[in-house]
Amino acid sequence: MKEKAIRLATLFSFIVASILAGAFFLAASLQDHGALARYAGAVWVFILALIVALPTIAPILKKRLGINKK
The minimum distance between CB 43 and another protein, in angstroms, equals 10
26 binds another protein (CB under 8 A): no
Least gap, CB of 64 to another protein (angstroms)? 11
Q: How many residues bind another protein (CB under 8 A)?
A: 35
Q: Indicate whether 54 belongs to the interface with another protein (CB under 8 A).
A: yes
Quote the distance between the C-alpha of residue 65 and its chain's center. 20
Q: Is 32 in the site for another protein (CB under 8 A)?
A: no
